[in-house]
């Protein structure tokens, strides 16, 4: 497991006395935050993503990577409705159950939402060109 940890998260891990055990855990690799492209490369090669972020829910849906979002809500409900996102809240048992389901191959059928095809710029140019100036 790779854990790109935000500096505030690292601070909280220290505060709760969890940082040392995480750094010595052989199955968890704690790393510094990543810039966008290397992070997307990491996500692309992931079996699943666990997050409390809003934005990554969209990227995982486009990439077809199961995403478990540890929040009570999302600003991107379409990622739950048709995408790869599963909203589980913050209950450890719910998080664990969702992660184990993905690892056991129980990921549901998903689709990329309409117009999430990477062609937005072409559609915008087409609209602009069709207008009289």
Q: In whole angstroms, what is the distance from residue 122 CA to residue 78 CA?
A: 23
- Whole-number pLDDT of residue 131: 86
The model's pTM is 0.85
Q: For 73, phi and psi rounded to 5 degrees?
A: -155, 175
- On whether residue 42 sits in a domain, the answer given is no
**What CA–CA distance (Å, rounded) separates 126 from 13?**
50
Residues 15 and 70 in one domain: no
* pLDDT at 29 exceeding the cut of 80: yes
Instruction: Confirm whether 133 is domain-assigned.
Output: no
Q: What is the pLDDT of residues 60-70, one digit of tens each?
A: 999 999 999 99
User: Do 69 and 112 belong to one domain?
Assistant: yes
Same domain for 27 and 74 = no
Please count the structural domains in the chain: 2
Print the domain residue range for 14.
Answer: 1-33
Tell me whether residue 127 is in a domain.
Answer: no
In a domain, 132, yes or no: no
Asked if pLDDT for residue 133 goes beyond 70, the answer is no
Q: Minimal CA–CA distance to 49: which of 75, 67, 25, 71? A: 67
Average pLDDT over residues 88-108: 93
Domain-located, residue 73: yes
Sign of the Cα pseudo-torsion (51, 64, 75, 54, in order)? positive
């Amino acid at each position: 497991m790779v854990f790109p940890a935000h500096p505030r998260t690292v601070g909280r891990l220290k505060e709760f006395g969890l940082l040392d055990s995480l750094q010595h855990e052989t199955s968890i690799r704690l790393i510094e935050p990543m810039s966008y492209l290397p992070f997307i490369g990491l996500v692309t090669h992931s079996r699943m993503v666990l997050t409390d972020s809003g934005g990554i829910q969209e990227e995982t849906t486009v990439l077809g990577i199961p995403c478990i979002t540890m929040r009570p809500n999302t600003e991107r409900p379409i990622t739950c409705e048709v995408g790869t996102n599963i909203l589980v809240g913050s209950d450890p048992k719910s998080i664990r159950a969702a992660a184990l389901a993905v690892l056991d191959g129980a990921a549901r059928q998903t689709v990329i939402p309409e117009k999430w095809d990477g062609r937005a710029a072409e559609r915008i140019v087409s609209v602009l060109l069709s207008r009289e100036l």
